[in-house]
Amino acid sequence: MKIGFIGLGIMGRPMAMNLMKAGHDLVVCDHKKAAAEELISAGATFAENGAAIASQCDLCITMVQNSPQVREAVLGKGGLLETAKPGFTLIDMSSIDPVESKKIGSELAGRGCDMLDAPVSGGEPKAIDGTLSVMVGGKKETFERFLPVLKAMAASVTYVGDLGAGNIAKLANQIVVACNIAAVAEALSFSKKVGADPELVYQAIRGGLAGSTVMDAKAPMMIDGNFKPGFRIELHIKDLANALNAAHAVNAPVPLTGEVMEMMQSLKAYGYEKEDHSALARFYEKIGNVSIKGE
């Protein structure tokens, strides 16, 4: 299948590469052509904008930063809708506000085009090895049609409901992940402060009810003092902002989300926004005057 792909950042580039490995022909686009060099070398075609993609592809995937970037790629000057023909489908795999997903989908529907919102979870490592988790909203028949395409990038692809439901699920995921990381950081800093080895405490509790995928991924990073980004704090701030906006719109109480957001904002103020979200450990280290890192 000939597929357009817009957004070749940390996540988008390996996702696009996995589509090519699955045998798809790609037409790729990014504001920085250098981001596409690896894919071009592997056989992809570069397009200057979305309009150039939609003129030759019936399917395009977007993997960009947030709602405004998706809107620009679809509806802006040189966007997909300038040349999209009836029957064209957009799969937006960015993590954006579900309200915006519905609005953009409505614009596409008005031109006889379709849309799935299909945000991902798993970070750069799972994008590279093709084992992402994908949460999909949209028409069930459209989901089933493009399921093989999504499976080329993911180990888990789950249909959640109507358009927008994918991003609702992703925001719920980001709430759980953020609160879990904060809880792990709090537990490890507590352990160190009261005189126990955080590594031994981690090993003692990871096999019980407290154990989780988040703990196994992030506790070792905190103990090593390694905050090389797999998922940056600034991106999690973006997701939590979307979660808070969506929650406030329907009067859904999310007090834990609000608290973790403030922790991340304080780390941004200290200049740590480019670090991995496991750097929430730094927040506890600063306020508790303690170092989680092993000796």
How far is Cα of residue 214 from the mean position of the Cα atoms in its chain? Answer: 15
Please determine, for residue 212, whether its predicted confidence score (pLDDT) is greater than 90. yes
* Per-residue tokens: 47: 């397009």
Mean pLDDT across the chain, nearest whole number? 96
- Domain ranges for the chain: 2-162, 168-288
Residue at token pair 């915006």: 100
Residue at token pair 């358009």: 163
Tell whether pTM > 0.95: no
Taking a C-beta distance cutoff of 8 angstroms, is the pair 74, 104 a contact?
yes
User: Which residue among 126, 170, 192, 218 is the active-site one?
Assistant: 170
Q: What is the DSSP string of 6-69?
A: E--STTHHHHHHHHHHTT-EEEEE-SSGGGGHHHHHTTPEE-SSHHHHHTT-SEEEE--SSHHH
Can you give the pLDDT at residue 165? 97
d(CA 215, CA 206): 7
Read off the pLDDT band of 295 (50, 70, 90): low
Q: What are the DSSP E strand ranges found in the chain? A: 2-6, 25-29, 45-46, 59-62, 89-92, 114-117, 120-121, 132-137, 154-161
Residue at token pair 């000057």: 77
Note the pLDDT tens digit of each residue in 9-30: 989 999 999 999 999 999 999 9
How far is Cα of residue 126 from the mean position of the Cα atoms in its chain? Answer: 11
Mean pLDDT of 106-128: 94
Count CA within 13 A, CB hemisphere, residue 195.
0
33 is catalytic: no
CA torsion 140-144-146-147 (nearest 10°) is 120
Read off the pLDDT band of 243 (50, 70, 90): very high
Phi, psi of 37 (to 5 degrees): -60, -45
Please determine, for residue 125, whether its predicted confidence score (pLDDT) is greater than 90. no
Give, in words, the CATH class of 2-162: alpha beta
3-state secondary structure of 114: strand
Residue 76 DSSP label? S
The hierarchical CATH code for the domain 168-288 is: 1.10.1040.10
Read off the pLDDT band of 117 (50, 70, 90): very high
